[in-house]
Chains A and B, each alone.
Chain A
């Protein structure tokens, strides 16, 4: 059974970069799309984007220019960077496994990131 675990700072200062890593266990990181989704407090889900194991990416247009993702197949993990963070970026960030048939089938437990000085 695939398991995903997010890690990274829970507090980020405004204008700084939000960085998270997702470690995949119970399966190889190859041949899937690895996604990031976030959820502001009390609100709905927002798709951030995904990265394929080859390194090709697809990002939400609303975050294009601030977001980047990377994958390290040797460590079986992938990462998210969101620059110029503001309070609007506060929320629970989920990493997840995706594929073009089933959409998002495995999710991490989520990690709360607060953007505040």
Chain B
């Protein structure tokens, strides 16, 4: 199976910071990658699909890039509501594996 590895596992940042999370696939997945945001006690929310397409209704402060095996999620200017855990997920072939998650916390 193709493994998905996120880094860092935890990221400490301040409001207004530019934040970047990386997701690496153990084999090429083209651009079949999604990013989700999850807050405690809540279901995940789709932010980005197809590596760089912004889901409808999601703030343009979120952007995704990459292809093949390396991908990034960038939050251009962190807001209080953005402190959460972020997951990447590949969906090129089964199983649709998730990364282990990156927790963005207040510095």
- Which single member of B46, B53, B98 contacts A47 (CB below 8 Å)? B98
Q: Any chain B CB within 8 A of the CB of A45?
A: yes
Determine if A44 and B98 form an interchain contact, defined as CB atoms under 8 angstroms apart: yes
Question: Which of these, B46, B50, B53, contacts A104 with CB under 8 Å?
Answer: B46
CB–CB B44/A107 < 8 A: yes
Contacts of B53 in A (CB 8 A): 102
Q: Select which of B43, B45, B55, B94 is within 8 A of A110 by beta carbon.
A: B43
Q: Which of B45, B94, B96 contacts A103 (CB 8 A)?
A: B96
A-facing mask of B73-103, CB < 8 A → 1, else 0? 0000000000000010101001111111100
The interface bits of chain A over 52-83 (1 if a CB of B lies within 8 angstroms of the residue's CB, else 0) are 00000011111000000000000000000000
**Contact A100–B87 (Cβ < 8 Å):** no
Check if B25 is an interface residue, CB within 8 A of chain A. Answer: no
- Taking CB atoms, residues of chain B closer than 8 Å to A105 are 46, 49, 55
Interface size on B, residues (CB 8 A): 24
User: What are the residues of chain A within 8 A of B50 when measuring CB–CB?
Assistant: 101-102
Whether A14 is near chain B, meaning CB under 8 Å from some CB there, is: no
A residues 33-55 with Cβ under 8 Å of B?
Answer: 35, 44-47, 49-50
Q: Is the CB of A102 within 8 A of B49?
A: yes
* B contacts, CB < 8 Å to A: 1, 34, 36, 38, 42-46, 49-50, 53, 55, 87, 89, 91, 94-101
30 A-B contact pairs sorted by A residue (CB < 8 Å): A35-B96, A44-B98, A45-B87, A45-B89, A45-B98, A47-B96, A47-B98, A49-B94, A58-B95, A60-B94, A61-B1, A94-B43, A94-B44, A98-B91, A98-B96, A100-B91, A101-B50, A102-B34, A102-B49, A102-B50, A102-B53, A103-B34, A103-B89, A104-B34, A104-B46, A104-B89, A105-B46, A105-B49, A108-B43, A109-B43
Q: Which residues of A contact B (CB under 8 A)?
A: 35, 44-47, 49-50, 58-62, 94, 96, 98, 100-105, 107-110
